[in-house]
Amino acid sequence: MLNGTTAEIVERKALRINPAKTCQPIGAMYAALGIHGCMPHSHGSQGCCSYHRSHLTRHFKEPVMATTSSFTEGASVFGGMANLTQALRNIFTIYDPEIVAVHTTCLSEVIGDDIPTIVNKARQDGSVPEGKVVIHANTPSFIGSHVYGFSNMIMGMVNYLSEKTGTTLNQINVIPGFVEPADMREIKRLAAAMAVNIVMFPDTSNVLDGPLTGQYKMYPEGGATVAQIRSAGDSIATIALGHFASHVGASTLEQKCNVPAAFLELPVGIGGTDRFIDALRGYAGVEVPAAVELERGRLVDLMSDLHQYFHGKRVAVSGDPDQVIALTQFLLELEMKPVFAITGSPGNQFEKRMHELLDGPVPTAKIKANADLFELHQWMKNEPVDLLITNTYGKHIARVENVPFVRYGFPILDRTSHRFFTTVGYAGATNLINQMINALLDKKDRECEEEWFELVQ
């Protein structure tokens, strides 16, 4: 069952086997959960919403709330206006959120439902109470990926909420990319350590990794408030982390409110984190504190200590494009060799950027966007690697090929604590190093001859 992959590679144009992505609405739902007091709403069939909720719940091990327009055959033929209008009336009456974030699905996109018109009519009919907010994003499942859905919902936040009043506020916007709640918390911690005021949206920290208090809250304490997102139009600048997940939102805000944007990659490893810290420093006009420099120094020391174990190791990487790009840079800093790198998301920027990174240090690297894990497995069968880094769906490949495996990205369904341990910033790089070295040395201990089974490595 696990080893159905053949070593002979046949070019496939219309078929994906074990695709390294999922659909847009999941990303939109995750982004919506990063708004305080928000109810994500899936405008489509009940099954779509159930799948998206369960997938996020399995990854974060937290209940994910969302509502649905519950399309049936009638809505599929005549349109979903009645369903969405009734849904909005029910949502605000029963659940009383501050904001509803509507995202579309395959069915509503094929029908061609005009969400802004439906919402405006619902507001006129009184289905949307005064003072309540409804935003939307078009997220057809048949194109793009969950990363595109995340990006489109951020664009919806900017289009509907962000305003420019003419009074510049002493704050910097940060769009964090499709990362874990722990990563968003780490970004905020670094900014606080530098005494920089930031508005981060979306922000799922304290939403999908909150404490167990014995009292259920449908709308946890975390998340960016509507007021904060509105104020983003008056910020000094925007720092967008990740081309695919964040840059469109920052560009939209720049065009709408004339807020200058810095387009960065995810702050993974030394170089990526340095660029993020430098952007905060430059825009806020502050100095980098000694505590942050100390964190960086400890990471450099750890990298130096473990250089002998990482140098020259061949690595296969798969996942979201922003994460693969950032992680590849970190692997190069460790002097490892990312020989295979794929993403399931489409887009020419991935291959272009990866070639810029790898054509020099690893000229034989294989790079592919809109790819799948079946093809990655075929590459590994023909040219074995020392380490595989991807999400849970790589565990079958790792077992069959007996390759050390580090779980990274989305989704991680078979482990539980990933949402608490950051992979961004200097602290996140330390966590990644810890996972990688343990995976490599565990295999060495497991397979070495008895005379090489050492207490000290």
Of 334, 333, 340, the residue nearest 318 (C-alpha): 340
CA 306 from centroid of its chain's CA atoms: 29
> Cα(111)–Cα(76) distance, rounded to whole angstroms?
7
SS3 337: strand
Q: 168: Cβ–Cβ under 8 A, 6 or more apart, which residues? A: 234, 235, 236
- Which active-site residues does the annotation give? 106, 110
Quote the tokens at residue 295.
């964190």
**Cβ proximity of 137 and 28 under 8 Å:** yes
> Cα(345)–Cα(319) distance, rounded to whole angstroms?
9
Alpha-carbon Rg of the chain, whole angstroms?
Answer: 23
Quote the tokens at residue 352.
């272009």
Helical ranges in 161-289 per DSSP H: 181-193, 226-231, 243-257, 269-284
Query: Using CA atoms in the order 344, 346, 349, 351, what is the torsion angle rounded to 10 degrees?
Result: 50
- In the chain, the amino acid numbered 107 is L
Quote the tokens at residue 305.
């200590």
CA atoms within 13 A on the CB side of 296: 17
186 backbone φψ class: left, alpha, beta (φ>0; ψ -120 to 50): alpha
CA 112 from centroid of its chain's CA atoms: 28
70 backbone φψ class: left, alpha, beta (φ>0; ψ -120 to 50): left
- In the chain, the amino acid numbered 268 is V
Residues in a beta bridge with 372: 19
> Cα(111)–Cα(55) distance, rounded to whole angstroms?
26
Q: In what order do the strands lie in the sheet with 99-104?
A: 67-68, 38-43, 99-104, 133-137
**Cβ proximity of 133 and 32 under 8 Å:** no
The answer to whether the bond into 411 is cis (omega within 30° of 0) is yes
> Cα(336)–Cα(269) distance, rounded to whole angstroms?
13
